[in-house]
Amino acid sequence: MKEVLRTCCACRTKHKKNDLHRISKQNEKIVIDEKKQFGGKATYVCKNFDCITMLLNKKILNKVFKYNFNSEVYKKIGEELIETKHN
């Protein structure tokens, strides 16, 4: 069976989709969209602390989605990503 690979927007390496969080932009917000419930542009980040931290510190999502998300958006997504990691 062919594995679907996606690139992590933080470390830029390819991984299996299941090893990545799917993140989607909804208007001025960012949502974690593991089940692909939301349409629109999406990106992926590894399910590890380093990549999530890099994503937050460098505000990588601003570049990916060409949008200036505020710190609250990053704070919220950071908390959610770090929380889901332990599920």
Token pair for 28: 């001025």
The nearer residue to Zn ion, 46 or 73, going by C-beta atoms, is 46
Interface residue with Zn ion among 23, 46, 55, 81 (CB under 5 A) is 46
Cα diameter, the chain:
41
Contact set for Zn ion, span 6-25 (CB under 5 A):
8, 10-11
As measured in angstroms, the least distance from the Cβ of 84 to Zn ion is: 15
The binding site for Zn ion (CB under 5 A) comprises: 8, 10-11, 46, 51
